[in-house]
Amino acid sequence: MSATNVPKVLLQLQPPSKSNPLCVPVIGLGTAAVHNDGDTVKAAVIEAIKLGYRHFDTAAQYGSEQALGEAIAEALRVGLIASRDELFITSKLWCCDNHPHLVLPALQNSLRSLKLDYLDLYLIHWPITAKPGMWEMPYSEESLVPFDLKSVWAAMEECHKLGLTKSI
């Protein structure tokens, strides 16, 4: 497999963009694991890039963003890829950051961990909201609070307008 023959799917952006279409490679590597060892993640991502993978999925909750960022930097340094733009990077907003005022800081933290200027796709990980700072699952009923989808989505749209993510 090489990067040139991995099929891609055109994302249907809102609003549609004919001048700047965004395509996602249909084969990607997820970086979630029960025990996420940064060195293992970094090595796996570098090998995946050598094999032609260009789509990588991560999340703040996985603990793999820093290792993925290090792998991207290494791939650039040794010439496996010519630019970050060759990759499609997805990350996700975790439940305890699923509050309108925490969306932008959460994305900024992910970008810092990844050492990137933007994501290609930023998702709401799960459509539930936990109290801020509650990272561990499973959530007790007392840990959950009402999910303000409209306001969280507006905050996601603001992240897109700021150019921090190409799509949401």
Catalytically active residues, by annotation: 62
Tokens 């499973």 locate to 138
151 DSSP assignment = H
Hey, what are 13's tokens? 């952006």
CA 146 to chain CA centroid, nearest Å: 24
- What are the residues facing 129 on neighbouring strands? 145
Distance between CA atoms of 128 and 24, rounded to whole angstroms? 26
The angle that helices 149-161 and 100-114 make with each other, rounded to 10 degrees, is 40
